[in-house]
Structure 1
Amino acid sequence: MLSNAGAYVLPHSDKWVLKANGSEHVLFVSVPSEQAPEGGFPVLYLLDGNAVFASMTEALRLMTRPPHGFSPAAVVAIGYDTDGPFCKERRFFDYTVSATQEEVGTSKHGEPWPPSGGVDVFLSMLEEQVMPELERKYPLDPTKRAFFGHSLGGLCVLHTLFTRNHLFDTYIAGSPSVWWKNRYIQDVAAAYLAGKHDAAAPMKKLLLSVGEKEKSHMVEDAIALHARLTRNASNIQSTFFSVPEAGHMSVLPTLIGEAIRFFLANGTESEHL
């Protein structure tokens, strides 16, 4: 006979609410049970936390299982107070620069897009409130951070790479919405590439990924950006990863596993004990 044992909870995970800038964000945090290394655990910061926190955490738990896995890492996912995987209105605002309807057109249903323009306020919140607070609460290594986002989240990752390069050492942009605001991110990338960079500054790693079956402009934009960075970026190591037979959403499970490999071992699993 079955008896109800209660709701399933991800092991070693916490949920926090952050009130900032007149709104609330939900933070999902998972920290390994192992003893933290000196300096703290590497940490993956995720956008669209409601959608990807559980998948990333469970994949990481499997892929860091000794004796043949990667070294343990923590996960911090930024989400919203919703039971659904996405909060359309909030993510459109948090992950974008301001754009007029003329600059972005209408959605596939002919409706206007939600309000936009909050990305820099969002990133300031992440840098000035989220990271310092969590690094006080948990053993997180501030020198080993990755930033993961998909679609508009992927665009936000690219915006961060080109405007706040110091925040992360690894950037993972899945199916980035390069089309937003007449491809404004191309101009931001050009301004970054034209700037002067400290030759001694650490190299940044970027994983640009897209599904093979996505809209042609999504694939073409990602390939073009990767080629541009490969040619011109002296301090960004860009890698392009096309997911076979994957569409805009089905790309995510494969991308999650590839993101872990890319961040923790750059493609090579260790045999730590």
Structure 2
Amino acid sequence: MVIAIRSLQFASHGTLDQHGFARNRFWAVDEDPPPFPTNTLNKAFVDLILKPSEEDTKIWPHSFEYRLRIALGPGGDLMLTSRIRNTNSDGKPFSFTFAYHTYFSVSDTEFLISLFYLFSEVRVEGLETLDYLDNLQNKERFTEQGDALTFESEVDKIYLSTPTKIAIIDHEKKRTFVLRKDGLPDAVVWNPWDKKAKAMADFGDDEYKHMLCVEAAAVEKAVTLKPGEEWKGRLELSAVPSSYCSGQLDPQRVLQGS
């Protein structure tokens, strides 16, 4: 998993990385964190903090504090709570967009007949009938059709006004990943497929077969903070066993569960 502040505004600055700079900076352990809303009972957690370096302010001239709590529950659930505060002393607001870059391992293709069969085994529930921006078509807006998302070609979409729960159902592994989110209205779904995977230096030629990127995000509308204001975003990830029901997994049981 890679954590990043990913901003459309950042992308307009040639000296900034495509996905922002928080993802490849050194963080410090936060020795004096403010109270976090997450319940830490029976959870192991660490608090991290990121502040801009002198080099960072040359490419994005704002002062901020980005606090991140990473908590692990006894059942293996992972909870990420981000808090970003504007600490500018010049009275200037700033805007950013944000995404947790979460990559999920999906079924092995070894015993499957074809790529189409592989990705019909992997379904995303919770985004059907929603509007999305298609990054492969100049961010043109469409409405998702069908009962669930399945994959047979390159996908790079930003889903808008998404629910607080999204499920990734993997029939082959009989496992469902559940994303629960707060303060993150959008969801990015990405898979490079074969041609783009081969063109990426840091991505194996066949790795697209075994991964799916579903990101909790706030990217359609930039978050704007005045000095002293703080934004919060939270993501909880869990993996639960799934069972077949009349030959199909039952995603509604997962989505409606606590």
TM over 0.5: no
Pick the TM interval, shorter chain.
Answer: under 0.3
TM-score, normalising length from structure 2?
0.26
Instruction: Determine which structure has the larger helix proportion and give its number.
Output: 1
Q: Which has the higher contact order (CA 8 A, sep 6+)?
A: 2
TM-score, normalising length from structure 1?
0.25
